[in-house]
């Protein structure tokens, strides 16, 4: 997993101001007699994380997303982009080694574990893309994000509608065919505003569940909507409006964007059949936009 060999470290401590601590059982370079430098400590932390959290085998489809969520949660322990990028680089090295092991063992490349590990590598690289100025220090590029996920903006008073439409995305989520994000994915102790910002920055498609409660939300109005509108204007993020209940919509900032249904025929007025047809059409539109190549 690394150039380091195994030796026991006695004691523990925080070397560089993050929440990270080297456990008593982990590793120290053979040729180092002095204190580890910052990068070595972070890479040891990443090795330990992979040892305990990276599945030795893939037994069910959502396991890859569980690992990615653990990875994102662990990244919160590091307080700078530089430290996070070093940690991610070591994680990426480890995932690549796992991929290589399939080839070394002459397994069928269509093997489920091989394909799933490739997917994990994609999501790890996506996390790295959030830190381009650190991971690629020789490139003076503006910060760009890979947009390939779905973001849902909604009022919590309308959560029942979110749960209802999400049923239609569940098979795609379970099989790893779509990265579908709503705020239920925020883990306890995570910085929720930061998580929402990152999710918006990843979104190629945003679903807006529109109602009077949606427009009444101060957070949606001041935080989510400006970022979504900027993403639509600058990066081509697709905004799909779903009208849940009657509301004043015509003079809103999102009135120019595509609606999946007419404001005069909100979801709450639909029959069960009409509603199911709307959700089915929504899934089709989302998958179409996700599969479109960027211009």
Closest by Cα among 70, 75, 253 to 153: 253
Mean pLDDT of all residues in 168-190: 86
- Length of the chain, in residues: 295
Chain centre distance of CA 40: 27
Sign of the C-alpha dihedral computed for residues 37, 17, 202 and 231 taken in this order: negative
The percent of residues in the chain predicted with pLDDT above 70, rounded, is: 77
Q: What is the pLDDT confidence band of residue 284, given thresholds at 50, 70 and 90?
A: very high
Angle CA 113–117–118, to nearest 5 = 120
- CATH code 3.40.50.10140 region(s) in the chain: 149-291
**pLDDT in the model for residue 34:** 53
Tell the CATH topology of 149-291. Answer: Rossmann fold (3.40.50)
| Residue 198 confidence (pLDDT) above 50 | yes
| In the predicted structure, residue 44 carries a pLDDT above the cut 60 | yes
**Bigger pLDDT: 56 or 2?**
56
Query: How many whole angstroms separate alpha carbon 208 and alpha carbon 241?
Result: 5
Q: What is the pLDDT of residue 95?
A: 86
What's the DSSP call for residue 222?
I
pTM of the model: 0.54
């Amino acid at each position: 997993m690394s150039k380091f060999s195994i030796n026991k470290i006695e004691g523990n401590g925080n070397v560089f101001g993050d929440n990270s601590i080297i456990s008593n059982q982990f590793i120290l370079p053979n040729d180092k007699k002095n204190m580890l430098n910052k990068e070595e400590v972070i890479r040891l932390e990443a090795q330990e994380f992979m040892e305990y959290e990276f599945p030795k085998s893939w037994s069910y489809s959502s396991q890859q997303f569980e690992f990615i969520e653990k990875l994102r949660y662990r990244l919160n322990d590091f307080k700078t982009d530089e430290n996070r990028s070093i940690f991610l680089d070591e994680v990426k090295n480890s995932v690549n080694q796992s991929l290589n092991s399939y080839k070394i063992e002459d397994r069928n490349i269509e093997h489920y574990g091989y394909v799933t590990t490739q997917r994990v590598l994609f999501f790890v690289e996506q996390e790295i893309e959030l830190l381009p100025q650190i991971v690629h220090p020789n490139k003076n590029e503006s910060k760009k994000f890979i947009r390939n996920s779905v973001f849902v903006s909604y009022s919590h008073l309308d959560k029942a509608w979110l749960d209802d439409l999400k049923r239609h995305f569940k098979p795609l989520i379970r099989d790893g065919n779509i990265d579908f994000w709503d705020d239920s994915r925020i883990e306890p102790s995570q910085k929720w505003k930061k998580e929402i910002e990152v999710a918006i920055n990843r979104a190629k498609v945003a679903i807006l569940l529109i109602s009077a409660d949606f427009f009444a939300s101060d957070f949606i109005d001041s935080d989510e909507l400006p970022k979504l509108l900027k993403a639509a204007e600058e990066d081509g993020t697709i905004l799909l409006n779903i009208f849940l209940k009657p509301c004043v919509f015509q003079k809103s900032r999102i009135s120019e964007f595509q609606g999946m249904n007419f404001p005069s025929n909100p979801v709450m007025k639909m029959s069960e059949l009409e509603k199911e047809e709307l959700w089915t059409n929504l899934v089709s539109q989302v998958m179409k936009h996700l599969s479109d190549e960027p211009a």
